[in-house]
């Protein structure tokens, strides 16, 4: 079977690749095209993006620092930073 | 009603975490009658109308939300004469699976010194496998557009309802939340009722313990996901606590609000 791209997104509150992961998502195309049953995970697959890199994940995107203005410097919204990582895995039959 | 009001520590917990959980809120016999009524209870009533006039009387669900302990909870958070916003009997059928579902209800909402509440009533024992609603405590100050946060599949600090029948959660409607898979054969209901205040939400709770030394620590709760954002979260919590408790100068710890408010030059210019 061919290898296809899996993605994990690690969300952080600082952009550094060694900052703590506080939320995460898996888009594992090797397993299927949608998540039918989200199984709860008590802890992230990696504590930092650096740990994921040590496990063969390749960084596709890391975040830039944000410039803060008086009008929105205290506003809260989505989690501010994310690292997108990719790894190729063998294609499986979609369940 | 006074005996059923929230105390100050509970209110501080609501301000910090955005929710409170009460087991045994609804008596067991009434729970069963409510469960039987849920499939046919009906859809939206008049949005924005007085709850007391709108909410059905002399039905199990009508009675459940008029119990003194429920009325005390409502009064503590949004005051007297609340408005009906909407209700829904959320059903996850047995063996119905759910993928990522994190969302913030309704539309993005920037109102300050204001929140609606949602009462979530679980009429039967709800186990982990039944897929009780999940919440991410503390996210109520983070404004997002409804379902765009579905990409946060997992977050540190996420909790979900596992509780005996008769449990009621009350939560700030802005808390990030969603449904979960039901791996059992049993249909799972969560009945929710959203309410609006009709007047400023100031000191509607039991304030006799307002100076309790535990309150700063409660407001400072770390749910696990805040990281470098924690002090910015804390500033929003302290702002809301100032308002709800009628203490406009309240601050805690390093006093981060003072750090941005203190400015002796401002008075000279004015």
Q: So what's the ipTM on this one?
A: 0.96
**Tens-place pLDDT, residues B60-116:** 999 999 999 999 999 999 999 999 999 999 999 999 999 999 999 999 999 999 999
Residue A39: CB partners within 8 Å, gap ≥ 6? none
* Separation CA A47–CA B3 (nearest Å): 46
What are the tens digits of pLDDT across the range A38-73?
999 999 999 999 999 999 999 999 999 999 999 889
pLDDT at A10 over 80: yes
pLDDT score, position B2 = 82
Q: Which residue has the higher pLDDT, B231 or A94?
A: B231
Give the residue with greater pLDDT, B13 vs B270.
B13
In this predicted structure, what is the pLDDT of residue A95?
A: 73
- Rounded CA-CA distance B15/B4 in Å is 19
Q: How far is CA A9 from CA B144, B147, B157, B159, B264, in A?
A: 19, 17, 18, 21, 45
Cross-chain Cβ contact A76/B233 below 8 Å: yes
Of B228, B229, B235, B256, which to mutate for an interface test with A (greatest number of A Cβ within 10 Å)? Answer: B228
At B75 the pLDDT is: 98
Instruction: Catalogue the long-range contacts made by A49-53 (C-beta closer than 8 Å, 24 or more residues apart).
Output: A49/A10, A49/A12, A49/A17, A49/A18, A49/A21, A49/A83, A49/A85, A50/A17, A50/A18, A52/A8, A52/A10, A52/A85, A53/A17, A53/A85
Contacts of A78 in chain B (CB under 8 A): 142, 144, 148-149
Average pLDDT, chain B: 96
Show the beta-strand stretches assigned E in chain A: 3-12, 21-28, 58-61, 81-90
pLDDT, position B270: 61
> Can you read off the two tokens belonging to residue A84?
């997108």
Residues B52 and B84: their CA atoms lie apart, in Å, by: 8
Q: Which domains does chain B have, with CATH numbers?
A: 2-196 (2.60.120.620)
H or E element in which residue B257 lies = helix B256-261
d(CA B159, CA B224): 11
How far does B182 lie from chain A, in Å, by closest CA? 9
Instruction: Tell me what the mean pLDDT of segment B189-203 comes to.
Output: 97
Residues in B touching A25 (Cβ below 8 Å): 100, 151-154
Can you give the C-alpha Rg of chain A in angstroms?
15
Pairing relationship of beta strands A21-28 and B19-22 according to DSSP bridges: unpaired
DSSP label at B206?
Answer: B
Q: pLDDT tens digits for B20-62?
A: 999 999 999 999 999 999 999 877 899 999 999 999 999 999 9
* Chain A hits for B226, Cβ within 8 Å: 13, 22
Residue B172, pLDDT > 70, answer: yes
- Would you call B193 helix, strand, or coil by DSSP? strand
Query: Do B239 and B245 form a contact (C-beta atoms < 8 A)?
Result: no
pLDDT in tens, B214-228: 999 999 999 999 999
Q: Does B152 touch chain A (CB under 8 A)?
A: yes
Average pLDDT over residues B110-136: 96
B-chain residues near A12 (CB < 8 A): 227
Nearest to A86 by CA among A5, A1, A27: A5
A70 interfaces chain B, CB cutoff of 8 Å? no
State whether residue B180 sits within 8 Å of chain A by CB.
yes
CA angle B86, B91, B95 (to 5 degrees): 165
pLDDT tens by residue, A80-89: 999 999 999 9
Return the higher-pLDDT residue of B1 and B197: B197
Q: What is the mean pLDDT of residues A26-36?
A: 95
pLDDT higher than 70, residue B232 = yes
């Amino acid at each position: 079977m061919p290898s296809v791209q899996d993605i994990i997104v690690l969300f952080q509150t600082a952009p550094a690749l060694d900052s703590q992961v506080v939320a995460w998502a898996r888009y594992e195309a090797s397993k299927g095209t949608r998540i039918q049953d989200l199984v709860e995970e008590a802890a992230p697959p990696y504590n930092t993006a650096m740990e994921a890199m040590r496990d063969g994940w390749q960084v596709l995107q890391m975040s830039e620092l944000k410039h803060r203005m008086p009008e929105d410097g205290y506003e809260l919204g989505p989690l501010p930073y994310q690292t997108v990582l990719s790894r190729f895995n063998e294609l499986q039959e979609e369940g | 009603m006074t005996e059923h009001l929230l105390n100050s520590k509970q209110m501080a917990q609501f301000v910090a975490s955005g929710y409170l959980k009460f087991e045994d809120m609804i008596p067991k016999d009434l729970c069963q009658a409510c469960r039987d009524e849920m499939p046919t209870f009906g859809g939206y009533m008049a949005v924005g109308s007085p709850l007391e006039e709108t909410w059905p009387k002399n039905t199990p669900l009508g009675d459940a939300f008029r119990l003194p302990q429920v009325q005390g909870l409502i009064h503590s958070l949004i005051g007297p004469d609340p408005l009906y916003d909407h209700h829904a009997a959320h059903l996850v059928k047995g063996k119905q699976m759910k993928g990522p579902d994190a969302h913030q209800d309704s539309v993005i909402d920037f109102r300050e010194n204001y929140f609606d509440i949602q009462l979530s009533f679980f009429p039967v024992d709800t186990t982990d496998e039944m897929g009780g609603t999940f919440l991410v405590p503390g996210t109520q100050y983070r404004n997002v557009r409804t379902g765009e946060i579905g990409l946060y599949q997992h977050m540190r600090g996420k909790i979900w309802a596992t509780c005996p029948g008769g449990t009621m959660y009350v939560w700030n409607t802005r808390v990030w939340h969603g449904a979960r898979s039901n791996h059992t054969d049993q249909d799972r209901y969560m009945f929710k009722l959203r309410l609006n205040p009709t007047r400023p939400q100031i000191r509607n709770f039991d304030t006799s313990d307002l100076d309790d030394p535990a309150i700063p620590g409660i407001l400072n709760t770390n749910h696990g996901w805040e990281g470098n954002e924690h002090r910015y979260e804390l500033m929003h919590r302290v702002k809301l606590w100032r308002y709800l408790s009628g203490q406009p100068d309240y601050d805690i710890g390093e006093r981060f609000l003072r750090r941005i408010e203190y400015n002796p030059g401002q008075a000279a210019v004015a």
